[in-house]
Amino acid sequence: MANPVYVVDGARTPFLKARGEPGPFAAADLAVAAARPVLARLPFAPSEIDEVIVGCVIPAADEANIARIIALRLGCGKHVPAYTVQRNCASGLQALASAAERIALGQAHLVLAGGTEAMSRAPIQWNHAMSGWLAQMMRAKSLSGRAQALVRFKLSYLQPVYALLLGLTDPLVKLNMGQTAEILAQRFGISREEQDAYALQSHQRLAAAFDDGSLAGEVEPLYDTRGNVALEDNGLRRDSDMQQLAKLKPVFDRKYGVVTSGNSSQVTDGAAMLMLASEEAVKRHNLPVMGELKGHAWAGVDPSQMGLGPVHAVARLLAARKIQMNDLKHLELNEAFAAQVLACQAAWASGDYARDELGLDAPLGSMDPARLNPQGGAIACGHPVGASGARIVLHMLHALRRAGGGMGVATLCIGGGQGGAMLVEAAA
């Protein structure tokens, strides 16, 4: 029997929308900012942590094994090992899953896990032709050799490579993530209006959550070095309405598309970090228990319809645990795109989909919309890819606790055609 895995604390930074230039924080800065207050209020020293596991999709060139950098900067000391995980949009969830497995197996008692991403700092690189030319230049010893190399230079070598754009494009089916959402919109007949309405609701729900103080326990102020403090996700549009959303042009399939920047998740910087503990650690340090991680599941789907990943992952997770969709008090489905969230709902409701794709006799049923992302999601707050998986688990634990405890699932679609889902149960 596996050991129980508890979440004892956690925090996230406000998510900062990328404004087309490198933001003030590196990915490691963000994770440190999120985890520091958590470590400050927990009763054990950072050096007592067994392992640090961090999800991050595009760490900077000077952030190799970013988890180790974060661990050392947090004062865990040289003896605490750390590693970085990458499962695209679910990297943060993967970090929690890996940490949970270590604890379940009794191999660790305290694991700091989460995710971080500074998408605004994704590098812009030289292309291969340029690298080759630079190498020739370096090799040329003589003046004439250099001159020859110089002559071979072409202007096209200066064409930069945007790592972020490549990262958001499926390398095999050559579709960008927005285009995979367009496919789902077409397949499940989801209109532009339905998507915009969903997006608007996401903003309204997140604004309400900030206003009623229910995010105070999970979002830590983020201080830069110039005297500025971020308290809220700055991509949140309190003034948005259907007219404004309707005016936006499609960004991925420009001519006929329905997916706009308004009904997609935002490119942002942010981090979320959680402290996971075994039963023994909880007892030893008398830790406050927020809830329990009760298992997770991964599933693969067609890369060109990667947004359906959650449909399969959740089905697999619920089946393994013999739980019905309706038993869940809360579902956090990461809002990569409004079309993708609505497509998942449609797929769960569909008998054909259940039979043809999931091999089930009856559909799971869609989630009650009131219980689906009730405080908004990535469309309003942003989707720092490495961090989102950790954010939705952390947020759901807080929300469930406020509601008096209960079960919930956090799930994400994953670029490359996967889905991940994690079952949590919050303490009352």
* Binding site residues, other proteins, CB under 8 A: 32, 36-37, 40-43, 45, 73-75, 221, 223-229, 231
User: At its nearest, how many Å lie between other proteins and the CB of residue 65?
Assistant: 17
User: At its nearest, how many Å lie between other proteins and the CB of residue 138?
Assistant: 28
Residue 129: CB partners within 8 Å, gap ≥ 6? 154, 156, 157
User: At its nearest, how many Å lie between other proteins and the CB of residue 37?
Assistant: 5
Q: Which of 109, 203, 383, 395 is catalytic?
A: 383
Amino acid at residue number 188: F
Q: Does the active-site annotation cover 383?
A: yes
Q: Does the active-site annotation cover 89?
A: yes
Which is nearer to other proteins, 196 or 220 (by Cβ)?
A: 220
User: At its nearest, how many Å lie between other proteins and the CB of residue 227?
Assistant: 4
Q: Is 256 exposed, middle or buried (0-12, 13-18, 19+ CB in 10 A)?
A: exposed
CA 70/CA 28 separation, integer angstroms: 6
Encode 132-142: b = buried (16+ Cβ within 10 Å), e = exposed. Answer: ebeebeeeeee
Q: Both ends of the chain: CA-CA distance in Å?
A: 24
Give me 182's structure tokens: 């367009």
User: At its nearest, how many Å lie between other proteins and the CB of residue 18?
Assistant: 22
User: At its nearest, how many Å lie between other proteins and the CB of residue 377?
Assistant: 25
Nearest to 271 by CA among 1, 14, 87, 7: 14
Q: Does the active-site annotation cover 413?
A: yes
Instruction: Confirm if 286 and 24 have CB atoms less than 8 A apart.
Output: no
CA 420/CA 416 separation, integer angstroms: 12
- Partnered with residue 6 across adjacent β-strands are 277, 292
Which is nearer to other proteins, 9 or 269 (by Cβ)?
A: 9
Which is nearer to other proteins, 47 or 131 (by Cβ)?
A: 47
Amino acid at residue number 118: A
Which is nearer to other proteins, 236 or 414 (by Cβ)?
A: 236
Which is nearer to other proteins, 36 or 321 (by Cβ)?
A: 36
DSSP of 274-329: EEEEEHHHHHHHTPPP-EEEEEEEEEE--GGGGGGHHHHHHHHHHHHHT--GGG-S
Which is nearer to other proteins, 21 or 62 (by Cβ)?
A: 62
Q: Which of 89, 203, 312, 344 is catalytic?
A: 89
Nearest to 217 by CA among 398, 350, 40, 37: 398
Catalytic sites, residue numbers? 89, 383, 413
